[in-house]
Amino acid sequence: MRRIVGETRFDFMGIRWLSLGLSLTLMVASIGILMTRGIEKGVEFAGGADVILNFIDPPALEDVRQALLENGLSGGSVTAFGDSGGAEIVIRVPLPKEEEGQAAGDHTDLAAKIVDALRPEDAAAKLASGLIDLNLVDEVTLADRLAAEAGLDEPAALEAAAAITKVRREGGGLFRTMEEVEAIEGIDENIHTFLREHAFLGPFALRGQEFIEASVSSEMRDKAVGAIFGALGGMLIYIWIRFQFQWGLAAILALVHDTILTLGAFSLAGMEANLPVVAAFLTLVGYSVNDTIVVFDRIRENLKARGSGALMEVINLSINQNLSRTLITSLTTLLAVFALFAWGGPVIHPFAFVLLIGVIVGTYSSIYIASPVLLIWRKLFPGKGVSRARSGMPRGAKKVSS
């Protein structure tokens, strides 16, 4: 294998107490941060609405936030989305406290409240007078209006409404000028006349919306926590079978260390926890335990060759032998994750942040948490936890003589 560093003889275990003390301090600090600041829950875990709007003219995000606050929609987030120069924004508003726990249909439609809060007074007046907002009207409503007011039969109204909404969809979800409406082919002149008299173009279009009930979000939150703890338990069982319980315990303590430190950094950064963040934590669990198992495998190989009398030297040797592989894996992963964090946009930031911190602490813990715990166990319980590792035989295997 190509190496980026030559043969090294670093005494990693010589500073094990310093590294363990530093990790313990950081874990206590992380727990303190989590207790005082908590984790900002996204719409998936708190319930609420997720709305994407596309504006004709890019709005000032601060004006959008202020308009939401003035209409009682607090605690949400507003971010620019895509490559539209700020014309496309994502608005995420949590479910109001007084509405949590209510059944579907009993709450006010948050998406409609967001649209109403951002609609200018002149557009609201036109809508109230009975005019049609061609940038917000849905296909069924438009067809009904054409059939009822433009003198069209139902098939013709449906065909015209489908043609209009198709052109709008292909144009980024909105019409910017009435000339674009006039240019739609296959539309009868009577329809164009009706639209000139009974329609207008609102300042934005609704590109997408999603609403999650509080009961659903609570279930998703419980399942997310269960998935993370289930992954930790599965890793413990696997390493217990593959090596021995003491080795699995060391790996799980490293994973707990990684999770607590990453959670603390995530809370300190004030980011929202959502389903992609849960996926990032599960990815972190897999990445960290893989790095630890690689080190443990090398330790076991060296124990078979050298015996367990000088476990500290064996661990140091094993880590040094794996150092080049560890650096290559970690650096290449960090480059990819940093690119996601730097240029992936605000939607991907929480996911990339968890992986960015997780790769760093995961690499650290494989060397300075899992291995020292294994060494400490050996000193506390001499002769236990390395015998089967030295033989290289999995649990339950029997030696067969030839």
Question: Is there a single domain that holds both residue 224 and residue 325?
Answer: yes
Q: How far apart are CA 278 and CA 26, in angstroms?
A: 22
Whether pLDDT at 152 is above 90: no
- Is 401 contained in some domain? no
- The domain spanning residue 102 has which CATH number? 3.30.70
Residue 17 lies in domain = 12-42+213-391
At 43, the pLDDT band (50, 70, 90 cuts) reads confident
Task: Pick left, alpha or beta for residue 79 (phi over 0 → left; psi -120 to 50 → alpha; otherwise beta).
Answer: beta
Please give the pLDDT value at position 36.
Answer: 92
DSSP string, 114-125: HHHHHS-HHHHH
Nearest to 167 by CA among 150, 157, 179, 151: 179
pLDDT (tens digit, 9 = 90+) per residue, 319-348? 888 888 888 888 999 999 999 888 876 678
Torsion of CA 371, 376, 377, 383, to 10 degrees: 100
Report residue 120 as tokens. 């200018």
SS3 55: strand
Question: Is there a single domain that holds both residue 193 and residue 265?
Answer: no
Greatest extent of the chain over all pairs of C-alpha atoms, in Å? 97
Contacts of 201 (CB under 8 A, 6+ apart): 56, 133, 134, 135, 174, 175, 176, 177, 178, 181
At 214, the pLDDT band (50, 70, 90 cuts) reads low
- Is 400 contained in some domain? no
Please give the pLDDT value at position 104.
Answer: 42
Question: Is there a single domain that holds both residue 19 and residue 76?
Answer: no
- Is 3 contained in some domain? no
Contacts of 366 (CB under 8 A, 6+ apart): 254, 288, 291, 292, 294, 295, 326
Question: Is there a single domain that holds both residue 244 and residue 367?
Answer: yes
Question: Is there a single domain that holds both residue 102 and residue 37?
Answer: no
For CA atoms 230, 235, 236, 237, give the dihedral sign: positive
Question: Is there a single domain that holds both residue 352 and residue 293?
Answer: yes
Q: How many CB atoms lie within 10 A of CB 279?
A: 15
Question: Is there a single domain that holds both residue 94 and residue 240?
Answer: no
Question: Is there a single domain that holds both residue 20 and residue 155?
Answer: no
pLDDT (tens digit, 9 = 90+) per residue, 295-306? 888 888 888 877
pLDDT (tens digit, 9 = 90+) per residue, 222-237? 777 777 778 777 777 7
At 248, the pLDDT band (50, 70, 90 cuts) reads confident
Domain count, the chain: 3
- Is 126 contained in some domain? no
Please give the pLDDT value at position 82.
Answer: 65
Whether pLDDT at 356 is above 90: yes
- Is 397 contained in some domain? no
Nearest to 256 by CA among 220, 279, 288: 288
Question: Is there a single domain that holds both residue 258 and residue 381?
Answer: yes
SS3 77: strand
β-bridge partners, 211: 49
Whether pLDDT at 212 is above 80: no
For CA atoms 175, 181, 184, 186, give the dihedral sign: positive
DSSP string, 309-327: TTHHHHHHHHHHHHHHHHH
Whether pLDDT at 115 is above 70: yes
